[in-house]
Amino acid sequence: LRLRPDPAVTPVCIAMEAAERYYESLGRTWERAAYIKARPAVGDTAAGETFLQSLRPFVWRRHLDFAAIQDAHDMRLAIREHKGLGGPITLPGHDMKLGRGGIREIEFFTQTRQLIAGGRDPELRARGTLAGLKVLAEKNWVPQEVAETLSDHYRAHRTVEHRLQMVQDAQTHTLPRSKADFERLACMMDMDTHALEADLHRRLQGVHDLIESFFAATREEPQTASPAHQFDTSVLDRWPSYPALRSERGADIFGRLKPLLLDRLARSAKPDEGLLAFDGFLSGLPAGVQLFSLLRANPQLGDLLVDIVATSPALAAHLSRNSGVFDAVIGGDFFSEWPGQEPLTKMLQEHLAQEDDYELRLDGTRRWAREWHFRIGVHLLRGLIDAATASRQYAELAQAVLQALWPVVVDQFATRHGPPPGRGAVILGMGSLGA
């Protein structure tokens, strides 16, 4: 019941519309994580499914959500502080659920990774922790050995939790404090007391070290010296007034990125022109938390961003208006060979099949096309293809979009207005598309 919207002031049962408004305006990352495991259990399950579908945009963001990492880390620290669970791992009285190296740490790790990429890949939306770790490893979001290790620790932790509750006949997660009670637990586990203690400590410490290294890696500050070039301070001074930096969160993340970006601009061929180009990009960015979090979690993208803004104003303007296209760079196939028109059409058809709503299909197609449009521009910028090849790829992309989307549009037209008269309509390709 504590997981419902604003539990301190709301009744146990609230209207779905009120819940939707709450999550749209006040929903937090931990509440998004909680809904990964949600399912209609009893009662009007059809209404429950409808409600969960309405929350899908809240839980699963369209773009890679690296901002969720810091939110999850803050929640871990808040739980420790609230429950007084800081300090080194000691077995007597240790909380197997909320304590260091416990069950919740594994769940946070799994759910954070799911939230990062689950909006783009529905296969990552597994409800269970073990199922989540498995699919994250299959999709290369978590190393296979890490997923297997955490899965093994999770099963062992759950077994200990169940034995604790059987021994005490109560819903508890706390290891015994007395020697006699620990011996009873060891008997229930069919283990020697010393062996159980050693195994518990090894597993708790192993989970803690793995999870801590994951969160620490995203918090490491870039080690950069002062830029070798003296930039125009009047340009730098106006950055805090830009829309992307007006929020405290966006300004904080960008403040950590700024030395790294300035260092890379200083090493470009024309630093002053590069700074002005980056200034134009930053001023046109409507929001920054997601993009800045993505850059901070993937520092190698900083080089690509500087290349784009310093050498291709048109591509930089496209990126400023559609910063979500940067998500595509994280995929392992961004710099692979061009797939061709037919494979592109099939990809988009599969993408469209994931949605039932017509408008969501159109929105998804726009995002998909923008990412491939950005990919072509980056390949041209990096010299991987020439202008003629880029022109052909743009035409093939347009053809794939038309071919995949046309049946969807025709079906929607027929639903609302009846079948098109005669043999229907035809789209004529002209210019580059026609050639």
Phi, psi at 95, each rounded to 5°: -85, 110
pLDDT of residue 161: 94
How high is the mean pLDDT in each 10-residue block of the chain (435 residues)? 78 86 81 87 89 86 68 69 68 89 91 85 90 92 93 95 89 90 91 93 92 66 56 82 82 82 79 82 77 76 78 76 72 78 91 85 88 86 86 90 90 85 81 72
Provide the sign of the torsion angle of the four alpha carbons 207, 209, 215, 218, taken in this order.
negative
Nearest alpha carbon to residue 211 among 109, 135, 136, 133: 109
Give me the numbers of helices (H) and strands (E) for the chain, helices first please. Answer: 21, 0
If we measure between CA atoms, which residue out of 335, 270, 271, 258 comes closest to residue 299?
A: 258
Domains detected in the chain: 16-59 (no CATH), 67-219 (1.20.120.330), 233-323 (no CATH), 341-434 (no CATH)
Distance of CA 102 to the CA centre of its chain: 23
Contact 68, 74 (CB under 8 A): no
In whole angstroms, what is the distance from residue 64 CA to residue 327 CA? 6
Tokens describing residue 336: 């692979």
Q: State the pLDDT at residue 227.
A: 54
pLDDT at 153: 96
Taking residue 186's Cβ as centre, other Cβ atoms within 10 Å add up to 18
Block residue for tokens 């240790």: 94
Q: Tell me if 271 sits within 8 A of 265, measured CB to CB.
A: yes
Q: 402-420 b/e with 16+ CB inside 10 Å = b?
A: ebbbeebeeeeeeeeeeee
Quote the pTM value.
0.65
